Structure 1
């Protein structure tokens, strides 16, 4: 019983570790990271593949999380609801960074705040149910950048570029340039474009098929940190997005 429990624990440990490698990792990389002999890691990884909890790409020789994990995550997410599934990940993100975190989805030509967790020293002004412009916010830029191509083109051509501050984008060509940049670098930022004295960074929450689910951001007043300072939290933000991608239900 002890041996079986130990084996199960090791397998679960490898499964958790695979979540840290969204692009996949070799058996050697996983073994080294886990501190297991290669033979042990290889055997456990192949057991996870056989049960659907991991997937193996024979060309790249990479292991990654499997469809079974995604399916279970979707069942949990639907049971808990969109907001309930988001809360633990945002709370952890705020605790690890000390900054406010926000989850938003695309809602016609605006973003819709689904959930937020205020930082310990500052309350952000958006609340669940609030809607905001796409062109002035980091959340909106990410949602624009990762929307379906037809939706993205329609929005880029049609949204009203009303400025919220003197720093807001009002030129459509500049907005297109920034959205292309967001797609290339994988994140968006803004400094005083949406609210005076505030900066934010955001990343997409993407499904296993790279379909846009939501966007998650960190926001902070400039007296605490600036856009460059927030960029240092991009690794934590991306980990939160990866967690949310497994837990949030796909919107239809």
Structure 2
């Protein structure tokens, strides 16, 4: 039977099977290279699996890999273990060195999506769970992402956002936010000074693809009584080193598919 005539449930299983057989994250297009389904069909199936938690997005926001539900259901997450373990190991080492929570986020439609996180061992910590989405305008990662957009695109997006106050220092004026984004664009470091959560600061650096484009962000955040914004900025060199390692992991995963 031709793939495009398969029942809907079998098509979904074929997508999962193709991803598991590859053993590395794939884009919907790369999955479809193995299946030859209609383009709209493959994207719809992947989106449904993402929304249901069977798949999750990779750091570049384009590729997908098994989510917790799929891992528990199939027991075949081992094929991805080297890739995922390398990513978490880098994040864990960074968190333990700095002593605060570190996370990886990717741009999503509504804000920055929390992809991975390693928490500090301090009993008091600010929890932003994996799978959560935080607004672009209030987060270090979100502002860093916005700063990388072309100026005209950045201006349009900023003026379309609902700049709601989230904490004491949230920037709610579009022009003030655009000015802040221009500063971030020049130094390549996103900052959050009690703009997302009261009493929390954060800094973020980009994780880039082979063309130097931001595909994800690496950030550290913590309560102000343990880490000031200046303290957080002093960790930027370590964050950049870890981001370079994560970039290497990302590119290695892509090369494994070629």
Structure 2 length as normaliser, TM-score? 0.62
Partner of 2:40: none
CA contact (8 A) 2:168 2:195 kept: yes
How many residue pairs get matched? 174
The residue aligned with 2:35 is none
1:98 aligned partner: 99
Three-state SS of the structure 2 residue aligned to 1:247 is helix
Which residue of 1 is the match for residue 70 of structure 2?
A: none
2:172 maps to which of 170, 173, 192: 170
The aligned counterpart of 2:157 is: 155
Retained in 1: the 8 A contact 2:125–2:222?
no
Tell me, yes or no, if the aligned pair for 1:146 and 1:204 is still in contact at 8 Å: no
Q: Which residue of 2 aligns with 1:115?
A: 116
Q: Structure 1 stretch 144-153 or stretch 169-178: which is displaced more? A: 144-153
Deviations 1:81-123 (A, max 9, x none): 9855531111111111111101100001300000111112143
| 1:179-206 Cα deviation digits (max 9, x unpaired) | 1111101101111111011110111111
CA contact (8 A) 2:103 2:117 kept: yes
2:140 pairs, out of 138, 141, 144, with: 138
SS of 2:93's equivalent?
helix
Deviation at 1:165, TM superposition (A): 1.4
Label 1:150 to 1:246 Cα distance change in 2 as closer, same or farther (>3 A).
farther
Provide the rounded CA distance (Å) in 2 between the counterparts of 1:132 and 1:142.
13
Q: In structure 2, what is the Cα distance between the partners aligned to 1:221 and 1:143?
A: 23
TM-score normalised to structure 1 length: 0.64
Are the aligned partners of 2:199 and 2:224 in contact in 1 as well (CA < 8 Å)?
Answer: yes
Say if 2:196 is the partner of 1:194.
Answer: yes
CA contact (8 A) 2:110 2:133 kept: no
Cα pair distance change 1:82/1:125, threshold 3 Å: farther
Query: Which residues of 2 match residues 1-252 of structure 1 at below 5 A?
Result: 79-80=80-81, 84-121=85-122, 122-147=124-149, 152-248=154-250
Q: Is the 8 A contact 1:213 1:245 kept in 2?
A: no
* Secondary structure in 2 matching 1:168: coil
* Partners of 2:157 and 2:131 in 1: CA distance: 21
**1:107, 1:210 → 2: CA distance?**
19
Unaligned residue ranges in structure 1 (runs of 5+)? 1-73
CA distance in 2, matches of 1:125, 1:225: 16
Find the aligned partners of 1:82 and 1:153 in 2 and give their Cα distance: 37
**What's the offset of the Cα at 1:153?**
3.9
Q: Which residue of 1 aligns with 2:55?
A: none
Residue 147 of structure 2 aligns to a residue in which SS? helix
Shift in CA distance, 233/89, structure 1 to aligned 2, threshold 3 Å: same
Q: 1:117 to 1:148 in 2, by over 3 A?
A: farther
